[in-house]
C-alpha cells in the first residue's frame, strides 16, 4: 500500500506546482493570511476531509482517520509570507506589493495539501490518524504555533513532524539533528536619547550617533569575550536609525537586532551583559536610553528517537533521497513550541536551484519545485515509521 501512496504523491506533482505558484502570486504576511487560510479550507472542503478553521488565529487543522488502529500523528506546514518586495521575474511572481513568499512556505502548503489528496483514497487502509496542521504566522513572533498549542487542538496528538524546504542543501538531501537543531530567536531594541545640535558645534551636543556606534562595536564583545567559547551564541545589530541631514548632530538613535542561543543560561548572561554595556556607555556620555528585549521562539530541540526515524527511513520514501545529520543552525522556528509539548522532529528538505541560489528571506529567493514531492513523501514516511515503531506498544 505505501508504495502505491508514494506513487500517488508523484502523480500529484503538477498539482503541487500549480498550488505553490498560485499561493506564491498571492502572499499574505503573518497574522493577515485570511485568503490563504480560506484557500486551504476550500481544498479540504473539496476533498471531503473534516477540518477546523481559525485555530489559534488563522490556523487550519484537517483530520484523516484511518480505518485501522494506530497513533495520531500531526504533520505541519506553515503558510505565511514575508514583508518583502519580490525581485524575481518569473511568471508566478508576487502580485501583492510588499509581500513575498521568500522562505518556501507556499511550497510547504502545496506539499501537505498534495499529501492529503494522495492519502484520501487509501483512508480505510491507513493505521491511526493523520492530522494536517496548517500553521499561520511562523515568521513573526509570537507566531502561530504557540496559540495553536494553547488552544488544545493538539492535545490528542501523539507526535508531530515538520519539514522546511531548504535552499542551503541540494535537492534530494534530507537534513536534521538529534537534539538541538535550530536556535532560540530573540529581538532587541535600543533607543539612545542624547542632545542634538549644529554639526559645527559638537561640544554643545551629546551625539547619539557616536554613542550608538560605540554600542554596535561593544555589543560584539558580549559573545567574543563573555560567552564560553564552547557555547554557541549570536548577537547581531540589524538596523541603525539616526539623523535627519548632513550638518546636524542627531539627538536620538535606534538600534534593533537579534540574539540567537541554545542555552537559557547563555541567554540570561547575554541580556545582563547587554544591559551593563548599554548603561555604562550611555552614563559615560551623560545620555539616556531605553532597552527593550523580547524573548522570541525557544530553540528547536528534536527528540532523538523521532529524529532517528527521519535519518534512518527517509530513503524508503524515495530511493534517490539521502540523509545527513548536521550541526545545529542559528535560524529560528516556532515549531519549537510543538516539540515542547509532543515527541517529534523538524528537518530540512533540500531544494537548492544550482544556478539560482539566493538565501531565505532574499527578494530573489526561489526553490527547486522538484523538492515538493520529497517533502510530502518524507512526511508520510515519518508517519509510517512512527506507526510501525509503536505498533505493539
Residue 286 bears catalytic tag: no
Q: Is residue 36 within a helix (H) or strand (E), and if so which, with residue range? A: helix 34-47
Alpha-carbon torsion angle 91, 96, 99, 101, nearest 10: -40
Q: Is the peptide bond before 142 cis (omega within 30 degrees of 0)?
A: yes
Residue 18 bears catalytic tag: no
Alpha-carbon torsion angle 139, 145, 150, 152, nearest 10: 150
Helix (H, G, I), strand (E, B) or coil at 97: coil
- Is 156 part of any known ligand binding site? no
Alpha-carbon torsion angle 44, 74, 164, 95, nearest 10: 20
Which entry of 33, 78, 80, 301 is annotated as an active-site residue?
Answer: 80
- Is 105 part of any known ligand binding site? yes
Report the C-alpha gap between 263 and 27 in whole angstroms.
Answer: 35
- Is 285 part of any known ligand binding site? no
Q: Is the peptide bond before 120 cis (omega within 30 degrees of 0)?
A: no
- Is 303 part of any known ligand binding site? no
Which entry of 86, 117, 138, 306 is annotated as an active-site residue?
Answer: 138
Helix (H, G, I), strand (E, B) or coil at 171: coil
- Is 164 part of any known ligand binding site? yes
Residue 389, all three cell numbers: 515503531
Q: Is residue 62 within a helix (H) or strand (E), and if so which, with residue range? A: strand 59-65
Report the C-alpha gap between 135 and 37 in whole angstroms.
Answer: 9
Helix (H, G, I), strand (E, B) or coil at 264: helix
Binding residues: 103, 105, 139, 164, 361
Binding residues for Mn(2+): 103, 105, 139, 164, 361
Instruction: Give the residue numbers marked as catalytic.
Output: 80, 138
Amino acid at each position: 500500500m505505501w508504495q502505491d501512496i508514494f506513487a500517488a504523491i508523484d502523480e500529484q506533482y503538477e498539482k503541487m506546482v500549480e498550488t505553490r505558484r498560485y499561493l506564491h502570486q498571492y502572499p499574505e504576511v503573518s497574522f493577515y493570511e485570511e485568503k490563504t487560510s480560506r484557500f486551504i479550507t476550500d481544498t479540504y472542503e473539496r476533498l471531503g476531509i473534516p477540518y477546523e478553521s481559525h485555530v489559534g488565529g488563522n490556523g487550519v487543522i484537517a483530520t484523516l482517520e484511518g480505518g485501522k488502529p494506530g497513533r495520531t500523528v500531526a504533520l505541519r506546514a506553515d503558510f505565511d509570507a514575508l514583508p518583502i518586495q519580490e525581485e524575481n521575474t518569473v511568471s508566478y511572481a508576487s502580485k501583492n506589493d510588499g509581500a513575498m513568499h521568500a522562505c518556501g512556505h507556499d511550497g510547504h502548503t502545496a506539499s501537505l495539501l498534495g499529501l492529503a489528496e494522495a492519502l484520501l483514497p487509501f483512508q480505510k487502509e491507513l493505521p491511526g490518524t493523520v492530522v494536517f496542521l496548517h500553521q499561520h504566522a511562523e515568521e513573526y513572533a509570537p507566531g502561530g504555533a504557540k496559540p495553536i498549542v494553547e488552544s488544545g487542538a493538539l492535545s490528542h496528538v501523539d507526535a508531530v513532524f515538520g519539514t522546511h524546504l531548504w535552499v542551503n542543501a541540494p535537492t534530494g538531501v534530507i537534513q536534521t539533528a538529534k537534539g538541538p537543531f535550530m536556535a532560540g530567536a530573540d529581538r532587541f531594541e535600543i533607543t539612545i536619547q542624547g542632545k542634538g545640535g549644529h554639526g559645527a558645534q559638537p561640544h554643545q551636543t551629546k551625539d547619539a550617533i557616536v554613542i550608538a556606534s560605540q554600542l554596535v562595536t561593544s555589543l560584539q564583545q558580549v559573545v567574543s569575550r563573555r560567552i564560553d567559547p564552547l557555547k554557541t551564541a549570536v548577537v547581531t545589530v540589524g538596523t541603525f536609525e539616526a539623523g535627519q541631514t548632513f550638518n546636524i548632530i542627531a539627538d536620538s538613535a535606534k538600534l534593533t537586532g537579534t540574539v540567537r542561543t541554545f542555552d537559557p543560561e547563555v541567554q540570561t548572561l547575554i541580556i545582563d551583559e547587554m544591559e551593563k554595556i548599554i548603561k555604562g556607555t550611555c552614563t559615560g556620555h551623560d545620555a539616556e536610553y531605553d532597552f527593550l528585549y523580547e524573548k522570541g521562539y525557544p530553540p528547536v530541540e528534536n527528540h532523538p528517537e523521532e529524529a532517528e526515524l527521519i535519518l534512518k527511513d527517509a530513503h524508503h520514501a524515495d530511493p534517490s533521497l539521502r540523509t545527513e545529520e548536521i550541526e545545529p543552525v542559528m535560524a529560528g522556528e516556532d515549531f519549537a513550541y510543538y516539540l515542547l509539548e509532543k515527541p517529534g522532529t523538524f528537518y530540512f528538505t533540500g531544494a537548492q536551484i544550482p544556478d539560482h541560489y539566493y538565501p531565505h528571506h532574499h527578494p530573489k529567493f526561489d526553490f527547486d519545485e522538484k523538492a515538493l514531492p520529497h517533502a510530502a513523501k518524507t512526511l508520510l514516511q515519518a508517519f509510517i515509521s512512527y506507526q510501525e515503531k509503536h505498533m505493539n506498544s
